[in-house]
Amino acid sequence: MKTELNKSKNILIKKSKMSLAKTTTALTCLIGSLIISSSSETTTTTGSLAVSSSVASSCSFSAAAMTFAAYTGSTITAASAITATCTNGTGYTISFATSPDVTTLYYLTNTTTGLSDSSNRLESSYTNGSATMTAGAATITGTGTGATQNPGTITGTIASGQSGKTAGTYNKTITLNLVY
């Protein structure tokens, strides 16, 4: 009976140790899962991010060369197409920056002789449509589309009746302003 008792005591001790090991293992797993689950919980909060940009207004333009035919005493005209490329929605004006030599007339001077007296200059005038162009007046206006546009044409006229002119090449550089 003693052996049986010892055997039952050993079994009981073995069962108790196994039970204790299982309980300890279960408890360890439970604590581990609590630690893991509590450390993997996250909190979400929201905020905002301000995002901005801009598109700067920009413009460029060009004027084709205006070349008159040879002057023979009759009225002659020539034209220069104006092109402008401006940022979409940008309003602009193009005007003469150069003041006329007298009232609304500009002098083309004889560059061959280098003289600018009355026999060495041709009087010219310029229009945009029906309006005479002078410094700051009769501007060409438009609103940019982002593409190249033709907002106007400047027409130059050398009037008839300018006799006694010296042979040579006559030139004038007129500066234009673009305001946008």
Q: What separation, in Å, do the N-terminal and C-terminal C-alpha atoms of the chain show? A: 116
Q: 3-20: per-residue pLDDT in tens?
A: 555 555 555 555 556 565
**What pTM was estimated for this model as a whole?**
0.71
Please report the pLDDT score of residue 10 as a whole number. 58
Q: Which CATH class is domain 59-179?
A: mainly beta
Q: What is the pLDDT of residues 146-179, one digit of tens each?
A: 999 999 999 999 999 999 999 999 999 999 999 9
Is pLDDT at 28 greater than 90 in this prediction? no
pLDDT for 36:
55
* Residue 11: strand, helix, or coil: helix
Give residue 31's pLDDT. Answer: 62
Amino acid in the structure at residue 111: T
β-pairing verdict for 148-158 and 76-86: antiparallel
Q: CA torsion, points 110, 116, 117, 121, in degrees to nearest 10?
A: 40
pLDDT at position 89 over 80: yes
